[in-house]
Structure 1
Amino acid sequence: VAGLGLLAGTAVVESAADGALFLAAGIVLSLLGLILAAPALVGLVVRVLGVLLLRVFGPVGRLAERNALRNPRRTGATAAALMIGLALVSGLSVVGSSMVASATDEIDASVGADFMLSPSNFGPVLPDVSAAVEEVRADGDAVASVTEYRVLSATATTPDGTVVDRQLAAAQPSMLEDLRVSTVAGDLAQVYEEPGGGLALDEDEAATLGLGVGDEVRVDFAGDSGPAALTVRAITEKSALEGGVWTVSLDTARAHLGPEALPLPSLLFVTAREGRAEEARVALEAALEPYPQMELRDQYELKEQIREQIGQLLNMVYGLLALAIVVAVLGVVNTLALAVVERTREIGLLRAIGLSRRQLRRMIRLESVVIALFGALLGVGLGLAWGAASHRLMALEGMRVLEIPWPVITVVFAGAALVGLVAAVAPAFRAGRMNILTAIGTE
């Protein structure tokens, strides 16, 4: 209860840093609590599974259900190992799917440019590349605009004397269309278009530093012209694409840094004219042939890149969690093997009154499956709670879409049933080979 209460507490925190403590403590306590409570839940959950799955197998299914209920502590402990692995898989799947869905939603809502151009080695865009792209825009009619996105570091001093180090994003006025950002207060266009510019920052940063539209911030660009007095012109919504980055115009950055000290672009946004995106892509790819390190992506390809990156990370984690699943399988095998040894005389009596070898093996397999599904239900339920609490903290960082990966959840349950079947192979085979008279005579 304490663990679930802490997980629910993530819904009321105002910052991800504060919520991280609630999340970490909630995960640990809810996991320990469910492990301790598992034996008490065996009666309820196994009976429900018995009604849904086992009763169709007649007396054999009822025997399997009662065998699983016979020792709740052992059943709960056996299922706990599987529960831990599946809880982690389910929780991480919710986090990964929500990250992909949030990024996709953010791209659809915010990115107005048709193409994004960046180096594959995460370096800057070299001047020759910028010149080649600009030449495509100047020589043809397919490209409407090219925006250079630069990131520079600066030190800011707020009106109350607070000094903070921040990254500043600098771009041309066309950035207003290339990356659409919703404003909470002020006008972002003033940052890019008015002489003298100013700066914009997101609502969380503004609240933390106590800044509002009209406040003056002293910004040290580390250039020759000394600190600049910039006025806050806009407060923007929190964005997953530009979280924590302040915005200034390229003219403002150039005026205080000078052309030589201005950093190279890290990204180029390219917008094609209406209905000529394919023509623009062909021209850009031809111009970029001498620069194989450059990657040209449209919005769909950008989404796929994000999906692949998160997928690769999750696959690495799933590989490690597979070891936990192997341990869980061994636990189920050991439990069933011990049960077969303990029930040797009982098995002999059942065989003597007409239970066939096939029915005996089926009974043990069904018992194994119901134990595995019991662990899967607890694990998936706990993992969904972890994932939902984690998403609440992600939403505070701009990733607002919660997505439950139902295909993964379905595979988890199917995999749990398969784990139960595989784990029962050896114990069921051993039970089926018992000599009836020898088994009856066993004490």
Structure 2
Amino acid sequence: GAGGYGLYLASATDQAKQGSAWLGLGIVLSLIGFVVIGPLLAGGVVRVLGAVLLRMFGPVGRMAERNALRNPRRTGATGAALMIGLALVACLSVVGSSMVASASDQLDKTVGTDFIIQSDSGQRITPQAVRAVKDVPGLARVTEYRTTTADYTTPDGRTLKDTDITAADPTYATDLRTKTVAGDLKDAYLPDSMSVHDKFAKAHGIHLGSKIAVSFKDGRTAHLTVRAITSSDGLIDAGAKYTSIATLAKYVPAARMPLDELVFATAKDGRQDSAYKALKSALHDYPQYTVRDQTDYKKALKDQIGQLLNLIYGLLALAIIVAVLGVVNTLALSVVERTREIGLMRAIGLSRRQLRRMIRMESVVIALFGALLGLGLGMGWGATAQKLLALQGLKVLEIPWPTIIGVFIGSAFVGLFAALIPAFRAGRMNVLNAIATD
């Protein structure tokens, strides 16, 4: 998919693994803590929500607030069910938005090419399609990019089986502005040369000028000189080891050369629009390949992450449905317990409409109480998770405020919906029978 091009997270470090364990433990403990102290928080939060939302409705609003505060333990327990579901929604929204923002930021900073051609189904690009791209007028350069595996024998004497190596044209050093900690990445594309990333170099005692025996799959063994050491502090192509296609072709027979995984094209100045149309036209006979500019690529990446989040949101919707049933049950029980009280209020002038409004407001404030705690807790989880993911290159924290605000407002409608049946039953209650209830 769109994430295929170089959006590889670096291998998890020990620090990241430990951080993941602590994050998981922290989420569980904080969730348990909020469930336990929910009744204590209910008083303060409900009073604030009441002052903001309910007081404008006069005596009916004040009665709704007092009813919600009458049993803080029940209010806290009812809000906790909604809190759990919305906390997970908020956490995943923050993580997903941060992933998209981080990837977009990296694309803007490091990708120096205009167009990316690839197959969304993972197919390699045929030589005929590559030729069609190269024949497009208005292009300043075309860069081929292919990957294969090889067995490495490093200077420390270790042999690493089936290790990835990326072969590209020398122009790839311009198409992807990869930071180096030693040497110049352009030198990695010289004959019999390569680059490695700094973590790999540190682990195996590699420095500039070191020789690595690379036994290519379906080819011969090459002794390549390390000309550059790249930084692992990145998101795109993190951990890649580069050599040139010419070097790969020297040791792998033409019949066994891997096909291109991607092709990059850069338009001449001022000709981006015409080159974009020409590329799409040139690949019309190759529908398995997609041409994307950077805007297209960011959108595809966002859609890809969005599809995953939508699947998870669908599962979390079940938890929210359970929470709604909890609110319905709480209100129904509250109405039964207050039967005589409701009868007396009706007898002294409370109308059916005012009674139903009071119960609906009580339901809304309980739902908003759970939403406020859940969204706050979830954003805290998401921000903490992003700090952990920053170790893997996801360094941008993005809070999806439209989603958060929309969920909060939606929680009010959840409260209104949950109150429909209890409010209807309370409104139809016989006043004399209610007063006579023990």
Q: Report the TM range for the smaller structure's normalisation.
A: over 0.9
Report the secondary structure of 2:367's partner residue: helix
Letter aligned with residue 199 of structure 1: S
Cα offset, 1:14, TM superposition:
6.5
Q: Partner of 2:3 in structure 1?
A: none
Q: Partner of 1:143 in structure 2?
A: 139
Q: TM-score, normalised by structure 2?
A: 0.92
Q: Partner of 1:243 in structure 2?
A: 238
Letter aligned with residue 56 of structure 1: M
1:186-233: per-residue Cα shift (whole Å, max 9, x none)?
2212112x34322132x4444555544444433322354325243252
- Cα distance 1:162–1:381, how it changes in 2: closer, same or farther (>3 A)? farther
1:265 to 254, 260, 267: 260
1:288 to 272, 275, 283: 283
Q: Are the counterparts in 2 of residues 82 and 379 from structure 1 also a CA contact under 8 Å?
A: yes
Report the secondary structure of 1:233's partner residue: strand
1:389-428: per-residue Cα shift (whole Å, max 9, x none)?
2212221111211100000000111111000011111111
Report the secondary structure of 1:217's partner residue: strand
Q: Are the counterparts in 2 of residues 213 and 235 from structure 1 also a CA contact under 8 Å?
A: no
Q: Partner of 1:82 in structure 2?
A: 82
d(CA) in 2 for partners of 1:384 and 1:357? 40
Q: Which stretch has the larger CA shift, 265-274 or 153-162?
A: 153-162
Q: Are the counterparts in 1 of residues 187 and 227 from structure 2 also a CA contact under 8 Å?
A: no
2:157 to 155, 161, 167: 161
Q: Partner of 1:406 in structure 2?
A: 401
1:275 to 2:273 alignment: no
Q: Partner of 1:9 in structure 2?
A: none
Q: Partner of 1:434 in structure 2?
A: 429
Q: How many residues align?
A: 425
- Cα distance 1:39–1:161, how it changes in 2: closer, same or farther (>3 A)? farther
Counterparts of 1:2-151 in structure 2, within 5 Å, are 15-136=15-136, 140=137, 142-151=138-147
Report the secondary structure of 2:135's partner residue: helix
Cα offset, 1:111, TM superposition:
1.4
Letter aligned with residue 149 of structure 2: S
Q: Are the counterparts in 2 of residues 96 and 314 from structure 1 also a CA contact under 8 Å?
A: yes
Identity %: 55
1:318 to 2:313 alignment: yes
1:176 to 2:173 alignment: yes
1:350 to 2:338 alignment: no
d(CA) in 2 for partners of 1:20 and 1:27? 11
Report the secondary structure of 2:255's partner residue: coil
Q: Are the counterparts in 1 of residues 342 and 434 from structure 2 also a CA contact under 8 Å?
A: yes
1:124-177: per-residue Cα shift (whole Å, max 9, x none)?
0011111222233xxx3x111110011111232333334434311111111122
**Gap regions ≥5 residues in structure 1:** 1-12
Q: Which stretch has the larger CA shift, 116-125 or 205-214?
A: 205-214
- Cα distance 1:428–1:113, how it changes in 2: closer, same or farther (>3 A)? same
Q: Which stretch has the larger CA shift, 273-282 or 249-258?
A: 249-258
1:216-266: per-residue Cα shift (whole Å, max 9, x none)?
433322354325243252222422221222222222222232333321110
Letter aligned with residue 430 of structure 2: N
Counterparts of 1:186-225 in structure 2, within 5 Å, are 186-192=183-189, 194-201=190-197, 203-209=198-204, 211-225=206-220
- Cα distance 1:103–1:360, how it changes in 2: closer, same or farther (>3 A)? same
Report the secondary structure of 2:145's partner residue: strand
Q: Partner of 1:152 in structure 2?
A: 148
Q: Partner of 2:326 in structure 1?
A: 331
Q: TM-score, normalised by structure 1?
A: 0.91
d(CA) in 1 for partners of 2:219 and 2:274? 43
d(CA) in 1 for partners of 2:82 and 2:340? 30
d(CA) in 2 for partners of 1:167 and 1:402? 31
1:345-388: per-residue Cα shift (whole Å, max 9, x none)?
11111222222222211111111011101100111011111111
Q: Are the counterparts in 2 of residues 181 and 237 from structure 1 also a CA contact under 8 Å?
A: no
d(CA) in 2 for partners of 1:237 and 1:267? 22
Q: Partner of 1:10 in structure 2?
A: none
d(CA) in 2 for partners of 1:19 and 1:432? 54
d(CA) in 2 for partners of 1:205 and 1:70? 63
d(CA) in 2 for partners of 1:440 and 1:161? 90
Q: Are the counterparts in 1 of residues 193 and 227 from structure 2 also a CA contact under 8 Å?
A: no
1:16-44: per-residue Cα shift (whole Å, max 9, x none)?
22222112222222222211221121112
The RMSD of aligned alpha carbons is 1.9
**Gap regions ≥5 residues in structure 2:** 1-12
Counterparts of 1:221-232 in structure 2, within 5 Å, are 221-231=216-226
1:423 to 414, 418, 423: 418
